[in-house]
Structure 1
Amino acid sequence: MSASEPLSIVEVQRRVGAELDRLGPVIDGLGALFTDAGHELHLVGGPVRDAMLGRSHHDLDFTTSARPEVSERLLKGWGDALWDMGRDFGTIGARKGPWVVEVTTYRSETYDPSSRNPTVHYGDSLAGDLGRRDFTVNAMAVSLPAREFEDPYGGIVDLAHQVLRTPGRPEDSFADDPLRMMRAARFAAQLGFTVAPEVVEAMTAMAERITIISAERVRDELVKLICAPHPRLGLTLLVETGLAAIVLPELPALQLERDEHHRHKDVYEHTLTVLEQAIDLEPRLSPDGEPDLVSRLAALMHDVGKPRTRRLVGDGTVTFHHHDVVGAKLTAKRMKALRFSNDEIDAVSRLVELHLRFHGYGSGEWTDSAVRRYVRDAGDQLERLHVLTRADCTTRNQRKADRLRRTYDELEARIARLSEEEELASLRPDLDGNQIMAILGIGPGREVGQAYTFLLDLRLDRGPLDEAAATAALQEWWASR
């Protein structure tokens, strides 16, 4: 499952040295500031791990022996800005130029079996603080200002071998913070690392414990996983350990029993492939290379209606009629349960509902009216619908794949032509509400809305009309009511 070859210890050490030199203007002065005040300060967690992977940070995490009120006093004289939203967790944040730092007092945190949130206790040693962290690759530190490397749990070896392992027993780690099971899948997706067998075993045995974690925190981990470079790795781990059955049950439900004649695709594997193909097409949506959450979620959820709609017909053929509509409803329900925003829910569920629409296009038989309606129904999700529809082709038949691609190329070209001619992106009737009332001699009310809808349908069917033609059509419609 690893995404790249193991690293050598020598290369890891070289990368760390280079990154610490780059961070020198921040870490050396800040380390001296805390040391002179009689406290310890250590660069810790993600910045240390990513330094070993050759990745740079401007957001830096530190841990310290100082209590939050002391950290606040020291940082106030050092930074350009200060904030204390994380004070309840022992964290004080500051910004100095382009650098953002968060300094957290040594701590340990545990969950009550019935609680959704951790109880935080301050610790008294670096080793104790590192021992409560999720994985050994995140349990390394650099003591400042001396720049001495601290690795009490063998994180550098695990990082070199690209393995995720917990500092202590995984059962104890997951009992303290069940969200770490989600983080294991997330880091597998982000880093391309393998998860140690004993960690997978503990995740499988303790999957139900994730139910004490709030939906918002589960959602945040799921979003990070889906937006990672290798989401298949993380999603597969969630399914195999049973966590997905709790946090995203629609995904393992796609593992439909294959009929003996293989009359339908493996929907689960097809879905993961569509997700990967959608990611490959993301430059169409995000030229700066940022992951597009809505597009990825739509790819992941586009076939979740199939288990509910699966039917075996007389000749042994498997059908999934209306799985697009059913899937849109299931998608909205799941995203609502995970506390996604209404805008995200609307966008993803609309894409799921529309993902089959192109297949009615055939070999290009749609009228201009049908093309206009396709654009109108997609609304501001049109570009994402292009991506999802193209990604949804996973056939191994190259001739069929080429034909589908050419047909969709043609549809996009027609949309572009009509858009240029008719301004499809801002599709409106040829008469506005005031004109409708003036022509029909009526005031505001339901009848104006009905007339507006009639004119919009007319616009979709016939394209743009001049004011005289639109007026005549409106009067004819009004007289026939």
Structure 2
Amino acid sequence: MVRAERAINELTDVLADLVAAFTAAGHELYLVGGSVRDALLGRLGNDLDFTTDARPEVVKELLDAWAEVVWDTGIDFGTVSAQKQGQQVEITTFRADSYDGNSRNPEVEFGDTLEGDLIRRDFTVNAIAVRLQVDEQGGLIQELRDPMNGLGALARRQLDTPSAPEVSFNDDPLRMLRAARFVSQLGFELAPRVEKALRQMSEQITRITVERVQVELNKLVLGQDPTAGIDVLVRTGLGEHVFPEIGALQMTSDEHMQHKDVYAHSLQVMRQAIDREDGEPDLVLRWAALLHDVGKPDTRAQKPGGGVSFHHHEVVGAKIVRRRLRQLKYPKALISDISQLVFLHMRFHGFGDGQWTDSAVRRYVTDAGELLPRLHKLVRADSTTRNPKKARRIQRAYDQLEERIAEIAEKEDLARVRPDLDGNAIMEILDLKPGPEVGKAWAFLKELRLERGPLEHEEAVAELKAWWAENGESA
């Protein structure tokens, strides 16, 4: 608690006037929820959550007098937000909501007690409050309120619900996904009764819109240990309703026969990809690492001499990724990036069979485009062999590929491999008007550029004319 007190006291300059204003108006103000939890964990951020007995109209009036910016888009639900000196606050009137059991949208009812507000929260670690007051010297007085024993759960690093989990999850099924997300973000474990309820009620998640599911999945994937959160989804059955292709990997034997299944391998690749991140968590890389082998269940085939193969699983996997992410309404650019990484992750393995031509290296770089740094990380992370000799051989082969890329990049602009003649030059040389023939000629020159590298102008013109003489009428 000392760490939390210190963190909250550091905000005295910005919060003291706000607390004093609520006290002068005859109202209580409590820091609550994730803000208290994070303060206790030593990770308090700049977005603070408060609860109060004051009604929303009063809250807005007090914030208008205190803050630099106020927005009241959530006032119908009792929430008013504001910002001052870079500190964001969100203040919500005590709630005592009721649910109809069919949707996650409650009948909004304002409450009169802190305890009534706390018991309706998702998890006990988020149901701790700190009452704030101001002393005569202008300092903050802190009084901990923990009627749900959230401190005990925090000490155990356990997620439990204030009320029976069956009631809590029926009220708002999104809390089931939040459980998996908090496992990822906080490194906590589920209380046995919570996990039991998740298994029994997983189908209830279908009451939640895909947009809300997407938000929670992203937060989970960006957590400190997303593989733990993913494993909650899979083992409780939640994953069957939000991303069934992940759990399906459990049924597929890995071709190396060194992992119990492709699922375990995929989680390990995700962990290894995270180890290669530069600073901020990379949503695209993490999703691609988790899903890179998602096409294996559909391409599994028995080899004549024993074992299994997964030919073209990267092609099938890219299609599966695009389909599922579209259903979850992910942005088009993100879908394109993740599926392209899945599609390309096997390309490198041809390099290990023999020295690639310059043309093959150019195509590798061109097809990856801006995703090349992520592709490097994904391919290296995809090596989970327990054979140290083999692991060193794979990494050495990729070192050689990166060296080849660097060598060619010194001679030519690999970041933008374009034909040696643009569309205007093509039309002038072949006496064409804008149309599909110009596009086909451009595509020919692009292939030529990839195959042979930069050409002198005269050589490019000669190649274009020769191609046109042979293909002009049918182009």
TM-score class, shorter-chain normalisation, is over 0.9
Measure how far apart 1:435 and its partner are. Answer: 0.6
CA displacement, residues 393-423 of structure 1 (integer Å, 9 cap, x when unaligned): 0000111110110110111111122223211
User: Which residue does 1:391 correspond to in 2?
Assistant: 381
CA distance in 1 between counterparts of 2:355 and 2:97 reads 63
State which drifts further: 322-331 or 86-95.
86-95
Cα separation, 1, equivalents of 2:258 and 2:45: 50
Aligned positions of 1:218-237 closer than 5 A: 218-237=213-232
Match of 1:344 in 2: 334
Any idea what the Cα deviations from partners look like across 1:130-186, whole Å, max 9, x if unmatched?
Answer: 111111110001112142111010011111121111111111111111111111111
Structure 2 residue aligned with 1:355: 345
Find out whether 1:14 has 2:2 as its counterpart: yes
In structure 1, distance between residues paired with 2:383 and 2:60: 55
CA RMSD of aligned residues (A): 1.6
Q: How far does the alpha carbon of each residue in 1:339-388 deviate from its partner, in whole angstroms, 9 at most, with x for none?
A: 11001101101111111110111255210000101111111211111111
CA distance in 2, matches of 1:420, 1:112: 66
CA apart distance, 1:322: 1.2
Structure 1 segment 102-121 matched on structure 2, within 5 A: 102-115=90-103, 117-121=105-109
2:185 aligns with one of 176, 190, 201: 190
Contact 2:7 2:39 in 1 (8 A): yes
Structure 1 letter corresponding to 2:83: R
Pairing partner for 1:164 from 147, 159, 164: 159
Q: Which letter maps to 1:468?
A: E
More displaced, 30-39 or 324-333? 30-39
Alpha-carbon distance, 1:320 to partner? 0.8
SS of equivalent residue, structure 2 residue 197 = helix
> Structure 1 counterpart of 2:264, which letter?
E
CA contact (8 A) 2:195 2:236 kept: yes
- Letter matched to residue 458 of structure 2: A
CA apart distance, 1:389: 0.6
Aligned counterpart, 1:39: 27
**What amino acid is the match of 1:329?**
K
Label 1:258 to 1:359 Cα distance change in 2 as closer, same or farther (>3 A): closer
Partner of 2:63: 75
Shift in alpha-carbon separation, 1:219–1:119, aligned structure 2, 3 A: farther
3-state SS of paired residue (2:11): helix
In the TM superposition, what whole-angstrom CA distance separates every residue of 1:422-453 from its partner, at most 9, and x where no partner exists?
11111111111111111111110111001100
- Paired with 1:378 and 1:111, the residues of 2 have a C-alpha distance of 49
Unpaired segments ≥5 residues, structure 1? 1-12, 284-288
Q: 1:121 deviation in Å?
A: 2.1
Counterparts of 1:310 and 1:115 in 2: how far apart (Å)? 40
Q: Specify which of 202, 206, 209 is matched with residue 204 of structure 2.
A: 209
1:448 is the counterpart of 2:438: yes
In the TM superposition, residue 467 of structure 1 has moved relative to its aligned partner by: 1.1
In structure 2, the partner of 1:48 is 36
1:433 aligned to 2:428?
A: no
Assess if the C-alpha contact under 8 Å between 1:86 and 1:92 holds in 2.
yes
What secondary structure, in the 3-state scheme, does the structure 1 residue paired with 2:70 have? strand
CA distance in structure 1 between the aligned counterparts of 2:164 and 2:289, rounded to whole angstroms: 36
Amino acid at match of 2:102: S
In structure 2, the partner of 1:3 is none
1:143 to 1:312, Cα distance in 2 relative to 1, 3 A:
same
Q: Give SS of 1:107's match.
A: coil
Distance in 1 of aligned mates of 2:121 and 2:390: 50
Residues 264 and 318 in structure 1, CA contact (< 8 A), matched pair in contact too: no
> Deviation string for 1:242-274 (max 9, x for gaps)?
101111101110011659995876201000000
Question: Offset of 1:89 from its aligned partner?
Answer: 2.0
Q: Distance in 2 between matches of 1:254 and 1:111?
A: 36
**1:70-100, Cα deviation, whole Å (9 max, x unpaired):** 1111101101111112223211111101111
**Does structure 1 conserve the Cα–Cα contact (< 8 Å) formed by 2:255 and 2:308?**
no
Q: Is the 8 A contact 2:31 2:51 kept in 1?
A: yes
The one-letter code matched in structure 1 to 2:418 is: R
Query: In 2, are the aligned partners of 1:116 and 1:214 still within 8 Å (CA)?
Result: no
- What are the equivalent positions in structure 2 for 1:126-141 lying under 5 Å apart? 126-141=114-129
Residue in 2 that maps onto 1:277: 272
Cα distance between partner residues in 2 of 1:343 and 1:112: 38
Q: Is the 8 A contact 1:430 1:464 kept in 2?
A: yes
2:363 aligned with 1:368: no
Q: CA deviation at 1:308?
A: 0.8
Q: Which amino acid aligns with 2:336?
A: D
Q: Work out the CA distance in 1 between the residues paired with 2:69 and 2:468.
A: 65
Q: Distance in 2 between matches of 1:225 and 1:334?
A: 17
Give, in whole Å, the separation in 2 of the partners of 1:268 and 1:206. 23
**Letter aligned with residue 59 of structure 2:** S
Select which of 242, 251, 254 maps to 1:256. 251
Distance 1:331 1:118 in 2: 34
Give 2:327's aligned amino acid.
A
Residue 147 of structure 1 aligns to a residue whose secondary structure is strand
Letter in 1 for 2:148: Y
Q: Is the 8 A contact 1:43 1:62 kept in 2?
A: yes
The equivalent of 2:48 in structure 1 is 60
Question: Matched residue of 1:119: which SS?
Answer: coil
1:179 to 160, 174, 177: 174
What residue in structure 2 maps to residue 89 of structure 1?
77
Instruction: Give the distance between the partners of 1:203 and 1:109, measured in 2 at CA.
Output: 22
**Cα distance, 1:52 vs. partner?**
0.8
Structure 2: which amino acid aligns with 1:471?
Answer: V
Counterpart of 1:366 in structure 2: which amino acid?
W
Distance 1:181 1:84 in 2: 28
Residue 28 of structure 1 and its aligned partner are, at CA, apart by: 2.4
CA distance in 2: counterparts of 1:61 and 1:259, whole angstroms: 46
Letter in 2 for 1:372: R
1:472 aligns with 2:472: no
Count of aligned residue pairs for this structure pair: 464
The amino acid of 1:254's aligned partner reads: L
